[in-house]
Amino acid sequence: MKVVPIKRMMRLFVSLYIGLTACALFAHESHPVPYHAQVSTESVSFPALTSWLASLTAPLKSAMEPSGKDQSEFIMFDALNPEQQDDDRPLMLQTIDDRVVEGQKPESSTLSRDSSLLGRKVRIAILIDDLGYNRRGMLGALQLPKEVALAILPMTPFAHQTAVRSKEQGRLTMLHAPMENERELKLGPGGLYARMSETELKTALTKDIDSLPGIQGVNNHMGSLLTADQQSMDWVMQTLKQHHLFFIDSLTSSHSVAGVTAKRYGLKTTTRDVFLDNIRTEKAIDRQFSRLIKLAKHRGQAMAIGHPYPETLSYLKKRLTQLNKDDVVLVPLSQILSYHAPSL
């Protein structure tokens, strides 16, 4: 029998690993939809394989990217018959293009290194958005600590119920306003588009707001196109001001003018620092959570956005009970908003 030299076997193994890695990276970057298309762990081997590949390639991927870059936003996509959605069936998700930039948040950097000097604890805030399309996501999110805010996509099957139950818990509840993205991906009901006239956009946004009882603020769902459009953002902020709502810029585009426009209109506002779950593995979510804490310690406070994935919800449920060891405190989102007198 011929003995295969060890060196040759090693070479074979390394080639195989590189091949798999390249496939996974390519799949993640170029064909995101099917790979993130499952919310439920009930779904079979393909997502599991992808998840495994993602965990294999995560270190390589993060090494290849400048830190603080890359996160794409995920969107719930109503691909199922809404009438059949009041059970626990897995939700269909559609991944969104929107490239976002992290670590570009000038306004909060001044907030407080001094928080420790004032004897105030370092604060983190968490928002779970994309709610409304399924029961399981709603129930899981409602089990998180009351400080965690929820943002709901308007006119979705569980939108009203999620809003009512969240409000009953005394939890900060928000509209997750669907805004046009650069890839023309479907927004679902209540979408706001750059082609809309002033009346059309304000009417659509008002309808979104009115569809959800007891909301106190709004953040953008996708919006890489709309949040970069000054005119549209003026109309959005005028409408939010009229309804006494605050605004969180999800920062799905580095060209977003949403945050500065909100400030100019004198709205209470802040900007997302970290997306928790663009890679849906416990390890990756943990890494993002650590980034959140690091940023908060640097600035005095920081906020993260997560999604109602089983992985995210179970991670947070456990992790948020262990914040003492990090010497940070979880606060309601309303406590980290900044306010500037209107300049308009």
Q: Which residues are at the interface with Zn ion (CB under 5 A)?
A: 129-130, 221
Task: State the Rg of the chain over Cα.
Answer: 21
**Shortest distance, position 322 Cβ to Zn ion, whole Å:** 27
Q: Given the complex with Zn ion, which of 130 and 229 has the nearer CB atom?
A: 130
Q: Which of 327, 342, 124, 150 is nearest to 237 (CA)?
A: 342
Q: Given the complex with Zn ion, which of 235 and 275 has the nearer CB atom?
A: 275
**Shortest distance, position 283 Cβ to Zn ion, whole Å:** 23
Q: Given the complex with Zn ion, which of 57 and 219 has the nearer CB atom?
A: 219
**Shortest distance, position 159 Cβ to Zn ion, whole Å:** 13
**Shortest distance, position 73 Cβ to Zn ion, whole Å:** 5
Q: Given the complex with Zn ion, which of 133 and 300 has the nearer CB atom?
A: 133
Q: Is 341 exposed, middle or buried (0-12, 13-18, 19+ CB in 10 A)?
A: exposed
Query: How many whole angstroms separate alpha carbon 182 and alpha carbon 222?
Result: 9
Query: How many whole angstroms separate alpha carbon 88 and alpha carbon 255?
Result: 38
**Shortest distance, position 74 Cβ to Zn ion, whole Å:** 7
Q: Given the complex with Zn ion, which of 223 and 332 has the nearer CB atom?
A: 223
Q: Given the complex with Zn ion, which of 77 and 289 has the nearer CB atom?
A: 77
**Shortest distance, position 58 Cβ to Zn ion, whole Å:** 22
Q: Is 68 exposed, middle or buried (0-12, 13-18, 19+ CB in 10 A)?
A: middle
Q: Given the complex with Zn ion, which of 78 and 129 has the nearer CB atom?
A: 129
**Shortest distance, position 14 Cβ to Zn ion, whole Å:** 39
Task: State whether residue 58 is helix, strand or coil.
Answer: helix
φ and ψ at residue 329, rounded to 5 degrees: -125, 140
Structure tokens at 120: 């105030």
Structure tokens at 65: 């990217």
As separate numbers, helices (DSSP H) first and strands (DSSP E) second, the chain gives 11, 11
Structure tokens at 302: 């920081």
Q: Which residue is nearest to Zn ion (CB)?
A: 221
Q: Which residue has the tokens 């990090």?
A: 326
Contact 232, 226 (CB under 8 A): yes
Q: Given the complex with Zn ion, which of 129 and 273 has the nearer CB atom?
A: 129
* Strands, E assignment, 51-121: 69-76, 93-101
Q: 176 has which bridge partners?
A: 219
Q: Which of 156, 155, 229, 237 is nearest to 196 (CA)?
A: 229
**Shortest distance, position 128 Cβ to Zn ion, whole Å:** 10
